[in-house]
Structure 1
Amino acid sequence: MTTSLEELLPGTRRALLHRIAVAQAQGRAPSLVAAVVRDGRTVWHGARTCVDGHAPDENVQYRIGSITKTFTAVLVLRLRDEGVLDLGDPLEKHLPGTGAGEATIAELLAHTGGLAAESPAPWWERTPGALRPELADVLGEQPLRHPVGRRFHYSNPGYTLLGALVEEVRGAPWEDVLRREVLEPLGLHRTSGRPQAPHAGGWAVHPWADVMLPEPAEDLGRMASAGQLWSTTGDLARFAVFLARGDDRVLSAESVQEMRAPAAPPEAADVAAGYAYGLGLETRHQDGRLLVGHTGSLPGFLASLTISVRDDVAAVVLANCTSGPLLSAVAADLVGIVAEAEPRIPEPWQPLPDIDRSVLELAGQWYWGTQGFILRLTADGGVSLEPLSGVGRRARLRSNGDGTWTGLDGYYAGEVLKVVRRPDGSLSHLDLGSFVFTRQPYEEGAPVPGGVDPEGWSGIG
């Protein structure tokens, strides 16, 4: 079963259906449901087999496991943007007495806080959360497995601490804060901490026989902020649009971009796989495409949300089995099918509106030492600096409104570009974080650090 909600080519729709049909059949999932988003809208929905006797639609809930962590990270970034806390703050400053307070909030978001991957036994995903009512029950007697800040080590207890941080600062339960500050503003009315009909049941499929066993759906209690949520392809499609574009009612585009940027030093195996972790979001390089999102699993359920920001395409895939199809690969393939079969049509080129001539004067060729760069004005009112050829440092910069510019990415992120003029008002050079850029290589008379040999350029002999 497949439904076209916006126009995709018939061949594209068939390729999408074929991909999820193969995944469901080969992965032996009781049901599998998927959605694809393009240009901010759901353009395709597909499902295989049944939930309660019907093919699941975009409103049927599945448990989404660790995609919950991305929602928790959004709440923490909101606190940062409000000025309530800083990501560099140690946890102890806002949530004392945990025994893991040395880790900063950013380190917990990026899984570099040194914490254990799991809480002490018994297996928390299949155990009632009421058995761990306190943070001490989640962290155990020795919460740290590695020096704080030294390595990436995925930690469910780390996100439990972040949920507790939200509760401490807001003075309300994590789920209540989430509903008020994220779910309701974004219209995610079918995302909840407990299942709401219609919802799929979770199953374990026998590895060597086509038989199934129902999985328990436990309330995770203190661990809720690491994996509690249930959601639908419809809601997660809307959440994907938010993660790609931002929404000022929740988080700005700049803040969600910060979430998408790798923040943790990857392990060697992750480097080989093209995997890294940001602030509550995973990044992967696959088939020449940068993908961001998160995966999730709990007994009986698998989930994946994947976005290609460059292509403006996202995919959500949910299944109700403990193990089976690799949903991150399925979601990546769905994104690739649409991006390659129906590539994004660029917006028409249009000239810039009226612009300050002193800014236009900056455009063109500059040299740092002997390396050539080009400075361009961008449609968003900023500028970009990039090498004339080959590889090298490049950056986008935004205007500060006072004749200076601040780098947004790359080596120059956060660095300030100053335009230096001579007494007569003519351009002398650019100063970017102490690097002097001149119109000519080692331009005579320019304030190049160390000076320029008065003999000038010469050949050998």
Structure 2
Amino acid sequence: MDELSEDLELLPATRRALRHRIAVAQSEGRAPSVVAAVVRGGEVVWEGSRTSVEGHGPDGNVQYRIGSITKTFTAVLVMRLRDEGLLGLADPLEKHLPGTGVGDVTIAQLLAHTGGLAAETPGEWWERTPGALRPELADVLGDEPLRHAPGSRHHYSNPGYTLLGSLIEALRGKPWEEALRAEVLEPLGLERTSGSPQAPHAGGWAVHPWADLMMPEPLEDLGLMAPAGQLWSTTRDLARFADFLLRGDERVLGAESVREMRTSAAPPEPGLAEYGYGLGMQLTAQGGRRLAGHSGSLPGFVAGLWLSEADDVAAVVLANCTSGLPAASVAADLVAVVADAEPRFPRPWRPFAEADQVPLELCGPWYWGTSAQVVRLKADGSLELGPVGATGRSARFRAEPDGTWTGLSGYYAGETLRAVRRADGSVSHLDLASFVFTREPYDAGAPVPGGVDPQGWRGIG
């Protein structure tokens, strides 16, 4: 092992800070119980719990209801369908699930809550009523399912994920939960995640707002709304799921697809989605640290899961109270405690191997007009294009078999970077989405659009 390799075990002071944070959360949030876990470097490095109610002492194996974190599981199933070529994210829903009345809404819009659908179902509070009372999609959508023009804004929609669950069932030919178990839960080893509670599990409680009294909450099967919030899980299972959302797993979704889920696909919504919303994942920031994950709540339960890609840290918090304990905020705090107290060690620098194909002729400075850019080859074989100064467009590019490069991020995502060669095989310039990058500012030997003044660079006479 390298002498700079990071020891995954947390320092005693860090562990105490984590215990203190959930102790404060349980006390101030007046929760019967709270359980939490932290993942770093792909391993669970800390578990903790706090309870004051006899018979509710939890650990990482006790199930809690996770509410809307279920949506992220549903989104994974949809992304699998996309990766298999069974649908496109730009496809209208009508193409695969006809007759809904909102068929012009696209799959991507449903995933990112930009389809304009209502936030909730018509009729009674769906989270506290039996799902059997909503046997058809029409009972979930109502007579006026849209509140905004599709694509015009972010508007969080629980019925939108019911539609995605029905889409999965239509294309897989099996119930949503059955598809989820076969394609996600079993491959990832999430044995304690299920649609119905399995012992040991916590009971859901309402805590009186003005007195220290409790009342049990009903535990309803959500029926068609299940893909929006049905699941029960444990901190250990969700810790493993969080690590999957960070790294990917080729048995379920590759790294690029989970990165796509973590990328904003919706405009910011002040007070709700300040940093936009990905494909089934909420995006936020705390102390300058960008986080991806999801919050969740159902009567009797609150949940939070956040991960920081830059720090390789994730945290999960579950509690059995209807309100009071801000589980998502506490999870973000746990990420910050670990990341700030024990910063991630950078990977050791290593040169490429002799056998590696290194496109050195593409590396180094280039100019778009007079704007200085630099191309760097990363250790994973991708290219990174960015400004020499502090401001400008940056993007990563993936190598393609035909010698081109495809943009993976930023302004150039999906665009093609091509090295244009001279007759002798040397690189004349780079072509990127109609932009010409040259080795010198306005290189007269390159086909700069509009041409280059034949007198070249000069001062004022």
Q: Which residue identity is paired with 2:13?
A: G
| Structure-2 residue corresponding to 1:442 | 442
Q: Letter of the aligned partner of 1:436 in structure 2?
A: V
- For the pair 1:359 / 2:363, whether they are aligned, the reply is no
Dislocated runs of 4+, deviation >4 Å: 355-358
- Inter-partner Cα distance in structure 2 for 1:209 and 1:146: 41
Partner residue, 1:232: 234
Q: Does 1:184 align with 2:186?
A: yes
Write the letter of the residue equivalent to 1:238: R
Partner of 1:411: 411
- Show the counterpart of 2:35: 33
What's the offset of the Cα at 1:355? 6.2
Q: Secondary structure at the match of 1:306?
A: strand
Q: What one-letter code is carried by the residue in structure 1 that aligns with 2:163?
A: L
TM superposition score normalised by structure 2: 0.96
Residue ranges of structure 2 left out of the alignment (5+ in a row): 1-6
Aligned-residue Cα RMSD (Å) equals 1.5
Is 1:48 the counterpart of 2:14? The answer is no
Equivalent residues in 2 for 1:150-229 (5 A)?
Answer: 150-229=152-231
Which residue does 1:108 correspond to in 2? 110
Distance in structure 1 (CA, Å) of the matches to 2:8 and 2:200: 25
**Equivalent-residue separation in structure 2 for 1:88 and 1:208 (angstroms):** 49
In 2, Cα distance between equivalents of 1:144 and 1:83: 28
What are the Cα deviations for residues 105-151 of structure 1, in whole angstroms up to 9, with x where unaligned?
A: 11111111111100011110000111111111111111111111111
**1:430 partner amino acid:** L
| Count of aligned residue pairs for this structure pair | 455
Normalized against structure 1, the TM-score is what? Answer: 0.96
Q: Match for 2:263: what amino acid?
A: A
Matching residue of 2:251: 249
* C-alpha deviation, 1:246, in angstroms: 0.4
Alignment of 1:19-168 (within 5 A): 19-49=21-51, 53=55, 55-168=57-170
Structure 2 residue 330 is the aligned partner of structure 1 residue 299: no
Name 1:331's counterpart in structure 2. Answer: 331
Residues in 2 aligned to 1:355 and 1:442: alpha-carbon distance in whole angstroms? 36
| Partner residue, 2:399 | 399
Q: 1:366 and 1:287, CA in 2 relative to 1: closer, same or farther beyond 3 A?
A: same
1: CA distance between counterparts of 2:356 and 2:242?
37
Whether the aligned pair in 1 keeps the contact of 2:165 and 2:227 (CA below 8 Å) is yes
- 1:270-309 equivalences in 2 (<5 Å): 270=272, 274-309=274-309
Work out the CA distance in 2 between the residues paired with 1:357 and 1:49.
57
For the Cα contact (< 8 Å) 1:192–1:231, is it kept in 2?
yes
Contact 2:37 2:44 in 1 (8 A): yes
Give the counterpart letter for 1:335 in structure 2: V
2: distance between equivalents of 1:425 and 1:123?
68
Spell out, residue by residue over 1:73-96, the C-alpha distance to the aligned partner (whole angstroms, 9 max, x if none): 011111111111111111111111
Q: CA deviation at 1:55?
A: 2.4
Amino acid at match of 1:428: S
Give the AA of the match of 1:182: V
Identity of aligned residues (%): 72
3-state secondary structure, aligned to 2:284? strand
Instruction: Say if 2:459 is the partner of 1:459.
Output: yes
- Offset, 1:267: 2.2
CA contact (8 A) 1:51 1:200 kept: no
Mean Cα deviation higher: 430-439 or 226-235: 430-439
Deviation at 1:16? Answer: 0.2
- The superposition leaves residues 182-239 of structure 1 with CA deviations (integer Å, 9 ceiling, x where unpaired) of 1000000100111111000001001110001110000001111110000000100000
The one-letter amino acid of 2:108's match is A
Q: What is the Cα deviation at residue 269 of structure 1?
A: 3.8
User: 1:6·1:44 contact (CA, 8 Å) conserved in 2?
Assistant: no
Query: Do the aligned partners of 1:135 and 1:222 also contact (CA within 8 Å) in 2?
Result: yes
Residue 381 (structure 1) shift = 1.4
* 1:350-389 matched pairs, under 5 angstroms: 350-354=350-354, 359-389=359-389
Task: Kindly state the Cα deviation for residue 445 of structure 1 after the two structures are TM-superposed.
Answer: 2.2
Letter in 2 for 1:15: A
Residues 50 and 56 in structure 1, CA contact (< 8 A), matched pair in contact too:
no
Unaligned 5+ runs, structure 1: none
